[in-house]
Amino acid sequence: MNGNPATGVEPPGPGAPPPAIAVEGLECRYGDTVVLTGVSFSVREGELFFVIGGSGCGKSTLLRHLIGLQKPARGTVRYGGEDFTNADLAARRNLLKTFGVLYQNAALWSSMTLRENVVLPLEQYTTLNRREREEIVSLKLAQVGLAGYEEFFPAELSGGMRKRAGLARALALDPRIVFFDEPSAGLDPVTSRKLDELVLQIRETLGTTMVIVSHELASIFALADRVIMLDHEARGIIAEGRPRELAAASDDPRVREFLTRGDEKV
Amino acid sequence: MTVVPSPACAETIVAGDDLVVTVGGDWRITGLLPSWRKVRGDRAPHGVRLRAEGLGRWDSSLVRFVHEVQGWCREAKISCDTSLLPETVRRLVGQLEQAQEKRLPVDHSQNFLVTVGLAATDVWRQTREFASFVGECTLSAIGLVKRPGRFRWRDCFSEMQQCGAMAVPIVSLSSFLVGLTLAYTGAIILRQFGGDIWVADIVGLSTLREMGAVMTGVVVAGRTGAAFAAQLGNMKANEEIDALETLGIAPVDFLVLPRLVALTLMTPLLVMYANCLGIFGGMVVGATVLEIPPSAYWIETQANIDLSDFSVSLIKSIVFGMLIAVAGCLRGLQAERSAAGVGRAATSAVVTSILLLIVADAVFAVLFNVLGL
């Protein structure tokens, strides 16, 4: 969160601060199977960045490597210029505090109430006292439109509410970057649109950098400043840019087909 | 290249009767933060004015700080001016204010009477569900007798391996040690009367009529009953049970009956094996501590146990196997659709199995006494 969010998409000039995320030559493997290779891109501070591509192209694999759930076979991931891939335990712990993740199924801890879910990162990483933590929880839940739901268990909420509660937990430590894994999965179009609006509102208010893994075209066109498209056969990035420009004028027919659902009309 | 944050600060200046609080620096929730109590000290201003100067990155910690200042001013019944703070900060403080007022009533606690009432209705509901599940299993078993070809023998054999053969090591150890313990305990009294040899009778009879079946039952409940509940609970959480139902396949036929048959067949075998190991455990104590030759021990055991003792053990083991399978599968199918639900189902399966086992054992004790077995 900061007072002056940067949302521009122009490349940074010399002497500019390092990008929020810089990925260089990343190779992702499962055993001997190479899923992605030579993946390089950067995400600027405050940018709404989408990772798109068909099913099985390695979007979620890339995300798991970005957030440190899997170690890359080659390459590095840097956050604000700091190496995350080869960081020692203390540096890694410090970097983990700077980003939040909203998982596909929200991944709320089912035996805990929403308050307990959101308060856990605060207990872990801050020196706030109990009352102060409670206030932050109320604020976070209010930010995602769940004010008053502190004592509800995840099982007592609808799918959309669970996603929003997952977002509140991801935002608990006011991370500079939030990763979303298929945020629209399992949601109806209206709930999905509301979640998109929430993402925009949070970016606007908090200036958070958002990296969203999705193949939901409506969300991509509504939100994305910039996208990278992954391809299963190419095992890497086949396009990078603004979604509308790519849909209209990409040289690669696979990109146009994906972004126009094959009907070449956007 | 990283940007080093400047620490969050809140400085005060007294302007007339008011206290002017200037917030600045980088406010990170994970960093060191100014405390309003320390910032204000023991001053008693007539109003507080908040303003920002040199404010870098900020997050919820600043919002919370401003909210705390506002709350303090409200309690002290003095004015609090936040108009000089950034608009986003003021908006979020307003949001926090509203959120704190809006707590939806949800009460997960109950008073004593309500708890007792709910527990009573729950016992009744569970009894009905258990009876209904036993009924379903019976109908399914009748279906198996009518059409044995449709039974999932492969699943059944796999379960038999899991709950039978794979349980042999733990059953061996527990039954051997129980036999050993019984022999030691019996020897304490019998030695005083020079009746060491009767240890064989005590161990033989108590193992066959009681300990073999009960101990194996407890081990199987903990091992297999919990596994059944966890497997079925997980399947329910993943909507696999729903998928069976929408295909028109009864989960009881597909999932419960193979497990029920497997455990009903394997428990008696395990119990018979446990009986042998229990007697062997007693024999080891007899030979090593009481100086009873194994042949004498065996002859004494044979002389005092007969077919009725084996029948008792066999009947108990069949019923125990059925009860554990039914309890495990029922708890699995009743599990809530969450990770915690699966855990609760496994725990509940073990508790239910052991409870049923003890109740059944008591019923058998009375029944066999009446029947003279």
Contact flag B96-A17 (C-beta cutoff 8 Å)? no
Q: CA-CA distance, B6 to B134, in Å (whole number)?
A: 69
In percent, the amount of chain A with pLDDT more than 70 equals 93
Do the strands B18-25 and A236-241 form a parallel or antiparallel pair, or are they unpaired? unpaired
d(CA B78, nearest CA chain A) in Å: 22
User: How large is the average pLDDT for residues B205-227?
Assistant: 95
Percentage, residues of chain B above pLDDT 90: 65
Mean pLDDT of the region A45-53: 94
**Distance, CA of B354 to CA of B320 (rounded, Å):** 9
Q: CA B16, B19, B23, B29: dihedral to nearest 10 degrees?
A: 180
Over residues B164-187, the mean pLDDT reads 95
Q: Which backbone phi and psi does B147 adopt, to 5 degrees?
A: -130, 75
* Beta strands A21-30 and A74-79, pairing class: antiparallel
Q: Which residue has the tokens 């077995």?
A: B373
Name chain B contacts of A142, Cβ cutoff 8 Å. Answer: 95-96, 98-99
For residue A110, give every residue at least 6 positions away whose Cβ sits within 8 Å of its Cβ, in sequence order, or none: A153, A154, A155, B338, B339, B340, B341
> What is the model's pLDDT at position B2?
53
| Cβ–Cβ < 8 Å for A179, A100 | yes
SS3 state of residue A22: strand
Tell me whether residue A36 is exposed, middle or buried, using C-beta atoms within 10 angstroms of its C-beta: 0 to 12, 13 to 18, 19 or more. Answer: buried
Judged on CB neighbours under 10 Å (0-12, 13-18, 19+), B185 is middle
Residue B357's pLDDT band (cuts 50, 70, 90): very high
Distance CA A181, CA A59 (A): 9
pLDDT at A84 over 80: yes
- Rounded-to-integer distance, Cα B280 and Cα B298, Å: 9
Rounded Cα distance, B256 and B328, in Å: 9
The pLDDT value given to residue B202: 93
Q: What is the DSSP letter of A251?
A: S
Contact A70, A151 (CB under 8 A): no
User: pLDDT grade, residue A7 (50/70/90)?
Assistant: very low
Q: What is the mean pLDDT of residues B290-311?
A: 92
For the entire predicted model, the pTM comes to: 0.69
- Span of A13-17, A197-201, B307-311 with lowest mean pLDDT: A13-17
Best CA proximity match to B29, nearest among B11, B5, B4: B5
Using the predicted structure, report yes or no on whether residue A2 has a pLDDT greater than 80. Answer: no
- What is the distance between the alpha carbons of residues B240 and B243, in angstroms, rounded to a whole number? 5
Stretch A54-77: mean pLDDT: 90
Asked if B130 contacts B328 with a C-beta cutoff of 8 angstroms, the reply is no
Amino acid at A146: L
Task: Give the chain B residue nearest A113 (alpha carbons).
Answer: B108
- The pLDDT value given to residue B22: 93
For residue A192, the surrounding DSSP H or E stretch is helix A189-206
Question: Using beta carbons and an 8 Å cutoff, which residues of B are at the interface with A?
Answer: 1-3, 28-30, 32-33, 55-61, 63-64, 67-68, 86, 88-89, 91-92, 95-96, 98-100, 102-104, 106, 108, 336-341
Amino acid occupying residue B302: Q
- Cβ–Cβ below 8 Å for A135 and B32: no
Q: Which helix (H) or strand (E) holds B75?
A: helix B60-75
pLDDT of residue A4: 39
Percent of chain A scoring above 90 in pLDDT: 47
Among A6-10, B108-112, B138-142, B334-338, which range has the highest average pLDDT?
A: B138-142
3-state helix, strand, coil in chain A (%, to 5): 35, 25, 40
The verdict on a CB contact (< 8 Å) between A205 and B338 is no
Mean pLDDT of A136-157: 90
- Mean pLDDT for the stretch of residues A176-181: 93
d(CA B277, CA B294): 14
Cα within 13 Å of Cα(B215), Cβ side: 28
For B138-192, the DSSP string reads: HHHHHHHHH-GGGS-HHHHHHHHHHHTGGGHHHHHHHHHHHHHHHHHHHHHHHGG
> And the tokens for A188?
């109806």
pLDDT for A1 equals 47
Q: Among B26, B55, B60, pick the best mutation site for testing chain A contact (most A Cβ within 10 A).
A: B60
User: Is pLDDT of A10 > 60?
Assistant: no
Predicted confidence at residue A201, as pLDDT, reads 87
Instruction: Tell which residue, B48, B38, B55, has the closest CA to residue B15.
Output: B48
A136 contacts B64? CB cut-off 8 A: yes
DSSP B11-37: EEEEETTEEEEEEEE---TTS----HH
CB contact under 8 A, B96 and A126: no
Q: Could you report the per-residue pLDDT of B59-75, keeping only the tens digit for each?
A: 999 999 999 999 999 99
Residue whose C-alpha is closest to residue A183's, from A105, A243, A261: A105
Query: Measuring CA to CA, which residue among A164, A111, A175, A120 is closest to residue A142?
Result: A164
CB contacts, 8 Å: B88 with chain A: 3, 205
Tokens representing B278?
A: 């229990």
Judge residue B22's burial from the number of C-beta atoms within 10 Å of its C-beta, 0-12 exposed, 13-18 middle, 19 or more buried: middle
pLDDT bin (cut points 50, 70, 90) of residue A3 is: very low
The Cα diameter of chain B in Å comes to 107
Q: Find, in chain B, the residue whose alpha carbon is nearest to that of A94.
A: B30
Which tokens in the block code for residue B105?
A: 């009533």
Contacts of A80 in chain B (CB under 8 A): 2-3
pLDDT higher than threshold 50 for residue A266: no
Burial B107-139 (b: 16+ CB within 10 A, else e): eeeeeeeeeeeeeeeeeeeeeeeeeebeebbee
Where does residue A89 fall: left (phi above 0), alpha (psi -120 to 50 degrees), or beta otherwise? alpha
What is the C-alpha separation between A180 and A67, in angstroms, rounded? Answer: 11
- Write down the residue that tokens 């303003």 correspond to: B51
Whole-angstrom distance, CA of residue B93 vs CA of residue A207:
17
Q: What is the pLDDT of residues B247-299, one digit of tens each?
A: 777 889 889 999 999 999 999 999 999 999 999 999 999 999 888 999 999 99
- Measured between alpha carbons, how far is B32 from B9 in angstroms, rounded to an integer? 9
Cα–Cα distance measured from residue B317 to residue B271, given in angstroms and rounded to the nearest whole number: 6
Q: Where are the beta strands (DSSP E) in chain A?
A: 21-30, 33-43, 48-52, 74-79, 82-83, 99-102, 177-181, 209-213, 226-231, 236-241
How many A×B Cβ pairs under 8 Å?
102
Torsion sign across C-alpha atoms B279, B268, B323, B316: negative
Q: How many CB atoms lie within 10 A of CB B36?
A: 18
Contacts of A205 in chain B (CB under 8 A): 88, 91-92
**pLDDT of residue A69 exceeding 70:** yes
C-alpha B246/C-alpha B261 separation (Å) is 25
For residue range B111-134, list pLDDT tens digits in order.
888 889 989 999 999 899 999 999
Radius of gyration, CA atoms only, chain A: 18
Instruction: Name chain A contacts of B68, Cβ cutoff 8 Å.
Output: 132, 135
Please tell me which residue of chain B has the smallest CA distance to A146: B99
Chain B neighbours among A 61-80 (CB < 8 Å)?
Answer: 80
| Beta carbons of B332 and B228 less than 8 angstroms apart | yes
Mean pLDDT of chain B: 90
Strand order in the sheet with A236-241: A99-102, A177-181, A209-213, A48-52, A226-231, A236-241
- CB contact, 8 Å: A123 with chain B? no
pLDDT band at A6 (very low <50, low <70, confident <90, very high): very low
Q: Searching chain B, which residue's CA lies closest to the CA of residue A173?
A: B29
